[in-house]
Amino acid sequence: MLAYIIRRLLWSVVLLLVVSLVIFLIFFILPTADPAELRAGRNPDPELVAAIEAQLGLNRPFYVQYFFFIRDIVTEFNFGRSYQNNVDVREEIFSRIPATASLALGAAFVWLVIGLLIGILSAVKRGTILDRLAMGAALVGISAPVYWLGLVSIYLFSNDIGRFPIFEPPGTYVAITEDPTQWLKSLLLPWLVLATAFAAVYARFMRSNLLEVMGEDYIRTGRAKGLKERAVVFRHGVRAAITPIVTIFGLDLGILLGGAILTESVFNIPGIGRTAFDAISKGDIPIVQGTVIIGATAIILLNLIVDIVYAFIDPRVRY
Amino acid sequence: MALLEVKDLKVHFQTDDGLVKAVDGISYSVDVGQALGIVGESGSGKSVSSQTVMGLTRAGNAHISGEILFEGKDLLKASDDELRRIRGNDIAMIFQDPLSSLHPFYKVGEQIAEAVRIHNPDGTRAQARDRAVEMLGLVGIPEPRNRADAYPHEFSGGMRQRAMIAMALSNNPKLLIADEPTTALDVTVQAQILDLIERLQSEFDAAVVIITHDLGVVAEIADEIAVMYAGRIVEHAKTDAVFHAPEHPYTWGLLGSIPRMDAPRDEELVPIPGRPPSLINLPSGCSFHPRCPYVRDAHKKVDPSLEPVAGDPTHRSACLLDSSVRKRIWSDLQAGRRPEEARALELDGGTPEMVAKHAQEPPKAAG
């Protein structure tokens, strides 16, 4: 098990190197605004631009730039400085992690509870009105884009412009360390919106998994033992049906921890996704690179955690 | 009073393709300490009938009628909760594939202990576990205390079925239903499992219903055998009579298709031609008639009922042939004649010479 984890960690490093190289290549090849010009201010004279290019190393060959980029990350954990406002990329991104984590973890909790409960109910009551309504709603939830749902929900429920002022409006996020009550209130609506599509996917997935499991021989054994149906469903059925969900949950959470770009933008939450979005629109390549690498790290780590957890929830899996 | 008495049990399933008459009016009874074998091909209704005894076929699309009297109480009228209390306690069941029948995520000992705790809610976890270990030892699992902590995939096929048996017997059931208990196992392990069931039956003084497609499996273990075909019992007799004086062409077919140690080495096995009928559109008359080598035109119209055989009130058969004709055909078959020879001789008025000529022609596929 330990050998497996070490091997996986080493592979993760390789994977991150590949990701960083691809990202670097993309921004090197793609025509973006010249960073040196961005730095130089309005109507710069060419000498100044050249000087800044030299200072940033932009006049060096591609592979030299990449080498310095990686060297700085490995030796100093330094992602460089923003072309836009010269802030330290690492500090900029790390200061955004709590907001993104608050959004992602809270939403994950909501969608797991709602999605799994609906999925289980639908499977147990298969073919009933309840099942059809739930699955119909799930289809709507999957089909509604999160930015649209976000805007509609703000219009309906935000207590500044909303018809039914229930939730805090966008842009009211504060860190949990500052004001926990306000933190909770400001995140309720984003959680619900972000969780909707996921809850719908999880409900459908849970339903189909559970239906399949309930047809297994060991479920019949459970009934033949004289177990109550509730115990058959939860202790034997859900226990087996939930394992594949752990896999997709890890992936989804990893992706969101790398930044929920749409939700953060719609609700004006200062997270990694918003930062990435702003950086992309301004051509601030160091920040974009930093967010991509942080995002990739989150996905790779969550993936590893899922695989480790899997060995504990499914005794047949051994590494 | 019989321990289990099934009377005119019908289990029909409404499906999109039509009404599936999986079990269509069967009756049998099992006494304390007795073993009944139910034999038939896949789709003959043998598993559905026994799962219905356990209440496992209760579903929206199942129409169940008749009576299932267990200790005089009609299980078909029992509430779900009453049935649940009987399941795993008074009546226990083991299934065909022990790997898929055990939960892959729970330890074997836990799964047995769970069965104990359901019906002994006042007992402690430790007591249930001790009972599980005791049962594992009883069914011949070495080092049961350690092996109780193994997962099903860490057991061999035979050990898994032993574990299933341990689970089934953990609450001292009065009736054990074994549904194809050896089908998924290696031949050598099959014999061990059958020996185990037989030994435990006498130790626990339980009645056993053993369901199989293989007459060889029930030969030693069963006191009586019911042969099922297309949802009905076509022959029911003491085990000895089924093997030595069977009175139904389907039983003859089953016997002719299993190898025998006492037969000459070059004797051919004779398969039953054709396939079991669709349970949605049963053949008219005797439902075995499309596959029966001895079919006559009248058999396609009249539906035979299970009648006692002349000279043996415990032996019943659902065949339209005259009992004396059946006895002659059986002795022809015993003498090594092929079904089509026996037919020519006994039904079509052939002389032994004609039969000899017939035998030289390549055999025609019947059915």
3-state secondary structure of B94: strand
Taking residues B233-262, report their average pLDDT: 89
Q: Up-side HSE of residue B137: CA atoms within 13 Å toward CB?
A: 10
Would A71 be classed as within a structural domain?
yes
CB A109 within 8 A of CB A199: no
Residue A62: other Cβ atoms inside 10 A: 11
Examine the pLDDT at A174 and tell me if it is beyond 90.
Answer: no
3 state SS for A110-135: HHHHHHHHHHHHHHHCCCCHHHHHHH
CB-CB under 8 Å, A221 with B102: yes
CA pair distance B325, A191, nearest whole angstrom: 81
**Cα–Cα nearest to A86, from A144, A22, A40:** A40
Is there a single domain that holds both residue A110 and residue A245? yes
Q: Give the N- to C-terminal CA distance of chain A in Å, as an integer.
A: 6
pLDDT averaged over chain B? 88
CB-CB under 8 Å, B103 with A221: yes
pLDDT of residue A75: 86
Per-window interface: A 220-279 vs B, CB < 8 A: 220-229, 236, 239-240, 243
Is there a single domain that holds both residue A140 and residue A211? yes
* Tokens encoding B88: 């795993």
Lowest mean pLDDT among A138-152, A158-172, B81-95, B289-303: A158-172
CA pair distance A38, A48, nearest whole angstrom: 11
CA pair distance A226, A235, nearest whole angstrom: 13
Residue that the structure tokens 């219903």 belong to: B209
Close Cβ partners of B108 (under 8 Å, ≥ 6 residues apart): B102, B136, B147, B148, B149, B150, B151, B152, B155, B163
Boundaries of every domain in chain B: 1-90+173-244, 100-172, 246-359
pLDDT averaged over chain A? 88
CA pair distance A81, A78, nearest whole angstrom: 9
Per residue in B168-192, pLDDT tens? 999 999 999 999 998 888 888 888 8
CB-CB under 8 Å, A239 with B87: no
Per residue in A198-248, pLDDT tens? 999 999 999 999 999 999 999 999 999 999 999 999 999 999 999 999 989
Per residue in B332-348, pLDDT tens? 888 888 888 888 877 77
Examine the pLDDT at B59 and tell me if it is beyond 80.
Answer: no
Per residue in B260-291, pLDDT tens? 767 666 777 888 888 888 899 889 999 999 99
Close Cβ partners of A66 (under 8 Å, ≥ 6 residues apart): A21, A24
Is there a single domain that holds both residue A8 and residue A109? no
Pick among A128, A212, A218 to test the B interface (most B CBs inside 10 A):
A218
Q: Up-side HSE of residue B24: CA atoms within 13 Å toward CB?
A: 20
pLDDT of residue B156: 92
Would A57 be classed as within a structural domain?
yes
Is there a single domain that holds both residue A144 and residue A249? yes
pLDDT of residue A169: 85
Would A225 be classed as within a structural domain?
yes
CB-CB under 8 Å, B101 with A221: yes
pLDDT tier at B143, thresholds 50, 70, 90? very high
pLDDT of residue A317: 82
Is there a single domain that holds both residue A20 and residue A137? no
Is there a single domain that holds both residue A126 and residue A36? no
- List C-alpha distances in Å: B136 to B116, B166, B168, B207, B346: 13, 6, 11, 21, 55
Close Cβ partners of B38 (under 8 Å, ≥ 6 residues apart): B28, B46, B49, B50, B209, B210, B211, B212, B225, B226, B228
Q: How far is A224 from chain B (nearest CA, A)?
A: 6
How far is it between the farthest Cα atoms of chain A? 86
Examine the pLDDT at A37 and tell me if it is beyond 80.
Answer: no
Structural domain for A56, as ranges:
2-91
Taking residues A250-268, report their average pLDDT: 89
Lowest mean pLDDT among A41-45, A72-76, B197-201: A41-45
pLDDT tier at A46, thresholds 50, 70, 90? confident
pLDDT tier at A131, thresholds 50, 70, 90? very high
pLDDT of residue B361: 53
pLDDT of residue B119: 94
Question: Alpha carbon B121 to chain centroid distance?
Answer: 33
CA pair distance B116, B329, nearest whole angstrom: 52
Is there a single domain that holds both residue A74 and residue A215? no
Domain count, chain A: 2
Would A313 be classed as within a structural domain?
no
Q: Up-side HSE of residue A38: CA atoms within 13 Å toward CB?
A: 18
Per residue in B347-365, pLDDT tens? 777 666 665 555 555 545 4
Query: Which of A91, A124, A155 is where one domain is finished?
Result: A91
Would A221 be classed as within a structural domain?
yes
Is there a single domain that holds both residue A86 and residue A103? no
CATH for A146: 1.10.3720.10
CA pair distance B234, B236, nearest whole angstrom: 7
pLDDT of residue B356: 59
Residue B277: other Cβ atoms inside 10 A: 19
Is there a single domain that holds both residue A110 and residue A213? yes
Cα angle B217-B221-B227, degrees, rounded to a multiple of 5:
60
Report CA Rg, chain A. Answer: 24
Of A217, A224, A243, the CB nearest to B100: A217
Query: What class is the B1-90+173-244 domain?
Result: alpha beta
Pick among B48, B103, B110 to test the A interface (most A CBs inside 10 A):
B103
Is there a single domain that holds both residue A79 and residue A177? no
pLDDT of residue B263: 67
Residue that the structure tokens 């060297």 belong to: A71
Helical residues (DSSP H) of chain B, grouped into ranges: 46-53, 80-86, 98-101, 108-119, 125-138, 144-147, 157-169, 187-204, 215-221, 239-244, 249-256, 323-334, 339-346, 352-360
Residue A115: other Cβ atoms inside 10 A: 27
Taking residues B320-332, report their average pLDDT: 89
Angle between helix A243-257 and helix A285-313 axes, rounded to 10 deg: 160
pLDDT of residue B367: 44
Would A128 be classed as within a structural domain?
yes
* Tokens encoding B334: 């015993």
CB-CB under 8 Å, A239 with B101: no
Angle between helix A180-214 and helix A89-124 axes, rounded to 10 deg: 40
Is there a single domain that holds both residue A146 and residue A240? yes
Is there a single domain that holds both residue A52 and residue A82? yes
Closest chain A residue to B97, measured at CA: A217
pTM for the whole structure: 0.83
